[in-house]
Structure 1
Amino acid sequence: MTVSMTSTSEGRVGRSLGDIAFGASVAGPAHIAAGLPNQDAWASSRWRTEGGTVHCAVVCDGLGSRPQAREGARAGVRAAKRAARQWARAPGAPTGLLVRLLEVLWRLEVAPLRPDDCATTCLMVLALPSGDEWRLVTVALGDGLAAIETPEGFRKLGGRTEEQFSNVTVALGTPHHMDAWQIQEVKATDQFRVLLLSDGIADDVTEENLPEFLRWLGDLEGRPAPARGKALRRTLRQWPVPGHSDDKTVVYLRVKGV
């Protein structure tokens, strides 16, 4: 049975053959005080192919300075999932085509709105079965952070450097070249776990603390779905870092075997 899950604001779960995915997103204190909606969006889904089940997780963070940031983030999630499905149908296709397709589909998703009014970051991990192992592809534009834990080790992509804090965030809808996308591929021979964080929380989680955060999320797996989502949302709302004004989104994916 194929189970898919999508959410833009609440924690939900998909489960099949030992795989699990859940996440949550909450508005930041600054947006709550201003009466603004959450401008993050996320999704986790999977689908069957001839080669096996493909897994996809994505987080988009609309730029707060843009009037249609929320719509841009939601469009980013839809475009990322559509691009992933199309790209995965062409085995061996370069990852450059994945991000080019995502860019075009996002502009179609936001039309007739002006892309600049809808600017959003985009962070996606795509897991494709490849024989007896997994091909894990991560693409990232703008801030946000992805971490992947496999039997072969721990890999991270994204997260802001000190230099980036003083620069304008690059995003869908802002001027940039295709090489602004960060792209990473890793192989996994067995179970792997994925963590996606929007910058409202990624900025506060150090690289040394990422494995501990993954372990905490793993401990939530045994809880019923409503309790899991409630615990994650509560943690995000009570995030103990001064100045934590931005929206916060976490997506967790764990897959057992090919």
Structure 2
Amino acid sequence: MWGPRMFKEYFQYKGISFPRLIYSERGLREVENEFQVRDDDVFNVTYQKSGTVWMLEILSLIHSNGDPSQCRTVPNWNRGPWYETVMGLQTARSKRPPRLISSHLPIQLFAKSFFRSKAKIFRPYKEPGQLDQFLEQFLEGDVPFGSWFDHVKGWMGLRGHENFFWITYEELQQDLRGSVERICQFLGKSLDARALDGVVENASFQAMKQNKMCNFSLAPRFLLDQTQSSFLRKGITGDWKNQLTTAQSENFDRIYREQMQGLDLSFPWDQPSPQPSPPPTECSDSPPGGS
């Protein structure tokens, strides 16, 4: 959760809001039109606060065959930079292949060169206010990076493409080892049992929460004030039941059904249950200077 020193200036780029501190119109234009995607690039694409850091850690560990050395010595925003940020773009361009790159961008703002490639794709925020206020803005898509619904529907249009893999936070939590095995298969990366053990052990919530290279404790306090809350908080799903009122939950479900109808796709939270778990509605998990 971002602390009280939050930057309140947003700008619009093609109808989507971005915080000005670490993003720029010029940088977004360069990402969209000039960034050259390589066939061996792997993109970690997520909506904000939807498991970005977790997946980045998993992919980093898979790349190192389960060896946690790099994950314990190199900040994650250098291992998998958010390339739409000013500093992240520079880092991504300077990385040696194969590159791991993170992004919160909706599909319509993504690097155009990606769609001609074989690349695989998987505190600069203003005060969100009270939960009811932020929930209303979230449902309207009036938040940084735009609508969750549009983001998901846009990227899910690539379903069936051989270089596109999708997975949910819930699946990672329910079966981390099985999820890692599926990701390895998609990446064409063969890990033995010992290497798989290393990935699973070091990508656990407790391991990541204690790792300064991925828990953002190294971030400048003016960007991320962890005296308010640690960046990696609970590592659970379903906590919305303790936060939303019945009326808020019912309103969320109604809008969710309206927005997602016709997608012909079932998520874990769509399965029959007393109260289906909605997607995350928290502020962004973007890192300093790397997103």
- Which of the two has higher C-alpha Rg? 2
Greater percentage in strand? 1
Q: Which has the higher helix share?
A: 2
Relative to the length of structure 1, the TM-score reads 0.29
Indicate the structure whose relative CO is greater, using CA pairs within 8 Å and at least 6 residues apart: 2
